[in-house]
Structure formats: C-alpha cells, structure tokens
Amino acid sequence: MLAREKPSKALRWLGKQLFNRENPAAFFDPLLESLNPMWVRGYTPARVEQVLKETAETKTFILKPTQRWSGFEAGQHVNICTEIDGRRHTRPFSLSSSPVLWQEQGVITLTIKRLPGGLVTNWLHDRLEVGAVLGMSDAFGDFLIPEPAAPVLFIAGGSGITPILSQLETMATQDYRAPITLLYFVRTHEDVIAGSQLNALAARYPALTLNIVATHLGASPRYLSDKDLDTVPGLKARKAFLCGPRGLMELAEHLLRGRGIRQSDIHCTFFAAPSAGLSDQAVGGQVQFTESSLEVGSQGDANLLEIAEAAGLSPRYGCRMGICHQCSCRKTSGTVINRLTGQPSGRGEEMVQLCISVPQGPVSIEA
C-alpha cells in the first residue's frame, strides 16, 4: 500500500461528514493534482529530480519525496507506484542512498535494473522523465545494519547491491567500528553497479574490504565457492547479509551454514525476477488467506472463491460470474488467471475478483 496520511480524529470526523472519506484533504486531490502533483495529500508524492545511467541495464533515479514522508533506515525498501496506460502498478525497490542524504538534502535514490520482460522496470527506464511524480510508500524491511557494531559479510549479486550501497554509505558516515567485507558477484565488469562509488568508499573507509567477482569471464561460470569464504577473516563471527538472485542466495546460505554460521545471523532479502518454468496452462497453487491466517493448496481451475469456501471461509460474494464485483479482494502477491479473459494478472498488489480468478502458483489474498 502507498503511504497515507493519518489525519487527526477531528479531521477524520469532518471528512466523513462532508466528503464521505477519512482524509478530507484527499477530496481536493483531483484539483490539486492538476495544479501541482506534489500537493497531493492522498498519498506520498515523490518527484524525479535526476536520472543517472549506471550500466547498460541499470539506472539510478534521484527522487525528492514530499517533506511529510517518514524517512527510512539503511537497507530498507519502498513501494513505488507508477501509472502505465491507465493502470497503477506497485513494485518494491531498495533505497540505494544513505538516510543521511534524505535528512540533509531531502532526496533519496533508487537504483533499478531492467528485468527482461518486466513491465514496470522497463517503463521506468524508457518512459520516466525528470519532473515526473511517482507515488511512494513508507519504508519497510528488516535488512538492517547490526546494532551494536559487529563484523559483517555482505554477499551481493547483480542489482542486489542496492540496499547494501545504502548500508555501506551509512556505515562509512557513522564510522562503523567493525570489519566489513563485500563479495559482489557480477556477470562481467560492465555489469558492476556503482563501481566508482564502491571504490571511493573502500578508499576512504579502511574497515571495508571490497571484492568484486566477475562470474562469466572464462569458459565456465565461476560462482561463489568455499575459496571465496576462505578469504574472509573471522568468518564465524560475522553477520551475513545476502541480496541477489535466488541461486546465489541459496548457494551462499548453504555454504555459510556449512561453516557453522547460525541461521539467525544470516539475513536475506531479494527482489528477483519470478522463477520461470510455470507454463501458461499450469493452474492451481498454494493460496494464502492472510487475514484468516490460512493456507490451502488448490489443483486444477478452481477459482479463489471456491478455494476459500472449501477452506471454510465465507468471503463476501454475489453473482459468482464476474459481474457484480462483490467478491473483489486485495491480492498481495502471486499470479492469477482471469477466467473470463484467460489473461494472467501481474505479480504485484492489486484487486481481483475471487469468483473468476484461478491461482497460477502461490498467491496471497487479504481475506
């Protein structure tokens, strides 16, 4: 969800009385938006100040959120809302700048790599221009710098470097007193994101050991191995932070566990492309009903309404044929197929009609 203002109790009462909404200011948003999108009250607007090219596939977007935004901690993420062809899409991205930059200059940065075939990342790369205004959520996530200071091992892959950039900048500014090692895996040296920034950090911040590994130089790929971990002094005492493609994360977790590092000392976060492999025809999957804390499996083309009812839930419904929208619920993640159109949904958060939505793989529903 996008960050919403929480107006005072009196304002909420007045909003309900006069405008049938909790935030009376949001009534005027359609007018304010056409005057200046940054005046919108219904969500947190953020203006694009600058767009920098990092690599062929990666850009850094410098954003200026409205002053009432609540800020963030290094390693956290935000949901960004874009409108593409009339549809709003919400996607999470890691903040790549340090919170100090927000506190001092009121700007944040997002470093975003194109996902092959990805609707939102490609739109951001191709269509988003300086001066445009996006919707933004509060920051979230617990991929946070350890307090008190402890030795840290970062293992990043590709665009997984972004939350770590924020953390390294913050640690350098705070002069974080513990050894830090970054193992950064990229396909080739052209794929290094923020290379000069990383080198500058390593130069001015002696606690940081930087090791950038190109995996696809030789004939066969060179992945993370025990040898890489051997180069990290005092490995056992380190808190590990992993961010990157699923394969790298699973490999790293396996190797670290093999070295006797406790699960509680391994922190993971990833926003990778969905694992391919589901054919268009494959339907069914695990369905999680978050408000009822219930998870059930489904097979075949049972729709979400039938699945919920079979699981003993009684969601609101009406016509059961896709007309009345009584059963619309918020899907927080996963893909569903619309039974009327045969079209798959996006992966992100959106409203779906339960009675005509068939899960394709794991799906989370707020019901």
Partner 1 sequence: MKRMTEAQLSELEQDFNAIRDQVVADLGERDATYIRRIVRLHRTLEVAGRITMPFGFIPPVFVGATLALGLSKIIENMEIGHNVMHGQYDWMNDSSLHSQSYEWDTVCTGESWRRTHNYEHHTYTNIIGKDRDYGYALLRLDDDEQWRPRHSLQFINYILLSVFFQWGVGLHELESERIRRGEIRVKDKLPFLKDFFRKGGRQAFKDYVFFPLVTLPVAPIVLAGNIGANLIRNLWSSTVIFCGHFTQQAETFTEAECEGESRGHWYLRQLTGSSNFTGGKWVHLLSGHLSFQVEHHLFPDLPAHRYPEISEQVQAVCQKHGLPYNTGSFARQYGSVLKRIAAFSLPDRIRTRLPALSMAHAT
The interface mask with partner 1, positions 186-205, x = CB under 8 A, is: --------------------
C-alpha distances out from residue 325 to 25, 308, 356, Å: 28, 16, 10
DSSP annotation of 238 reads P
The interface mask with partner 1, positions 54-83, x = CB under 8 A, is: -----------------------------x
Q: With contact defined as beta carbons under 8 Å apart, do 180 and 154 qualify?
A: yes
C-alpha distances out from residue 174 to 1, 92, 178, 205, 268, Å: 32, 27, 11, 10, 23
* Candidate ranges 26-34, 175-183, 190-198, 233-241; the one touching partner 1 (CB under 8 A): 26-34
CB 24 → partner 1: shortest distance, Å?
12
Angle at 31 (CA atoms; ends 25, 35), nearest 5 degrees? 110
Cα distance between residue 82 and residue 100, in whole Å: 26
CB 17 → partner 1: shortest distance, Å?
5
CB 334 → partner 1: shortest distance, Å?
15
Q: With contact defined as beta carbons under 8 Å apart, do 290 and 311 qualify?
A: no
Residue type, 204: R
Intra-chain end-to-end CA distance of the chain, in Å? 16
Q: Kindly determine how many residues on this chain lie close enough to bind partner 1 according to the rule CB under 8 A.
A: 33
- Residue from 3, 26, 62, 155 touching partner 1 (CB under 8 A): that is 26
Cα distance between residue 190 and residue 169, in whole Å: 22
Q: Does 29 bind partner 1 (CB under 8 A)?
A: yes
CB 351 → partner 1: shortest distance, Å?
6
Structure tokens at 218: 């030789």
Q: Does 237 bind partner 1 (CB under 8 A)?
A: no
The interface mask with partner 1, positions 301-330, x = CB under 8 A, is: -----------------xx-xxxxxx-x--
Judged by beta carbon, residue 209 or residue 333, the one nearer partner 1 is 333
Q: With contact defined as beta carbons under 8 Å apart, do 190 and 56 qualify?
A: yes
- Residue from 53, 68, 88, 262 touching partner 1 (CB under 8 A): that is 88
Judged by beta carbon, residue 138 or residue 350, the one nearer partner 1 is 350
- Residue from 6, 30, 50, 250 touching partner 1 (CB under 8 A): that is 30
Q: Please tell me whether the peptide bond between 45 and the residue prior to it is cis, using omega within 30 degrees of 0.
A: no
Angle at 153 (CA atoms; ends 150, 157), nearest 5 degrees? 150
CB 87 → partner 1: shortest distance, Å?
6
DSSP annotation of 356 reads G
Q: Does 39 bind partner 1 (CB under 8 A)?
A: no
Q: Does 254 bind partner 1 (CB under 8 A)?
A: no
- Residue from 58, 79, 166, 353 touching partner 1 (CB under 8 A): that is 353
CB 124 → partner 1: shortest distance, Å?
17
Phi–psi pair at 343, nearest 5 degrees = -90, 140
Q: Does 351 bind partner 1 (CB under 8 A)?
A: yes
Residue type, 273: A
Judged by the rule CB under 8 A, the positions of this chain that interact with partner 1 are 16-18, 20-21, 26-31, 34, 42, 83, 85-90, 318-319, 321-326, 328, 341, 350-351, 353
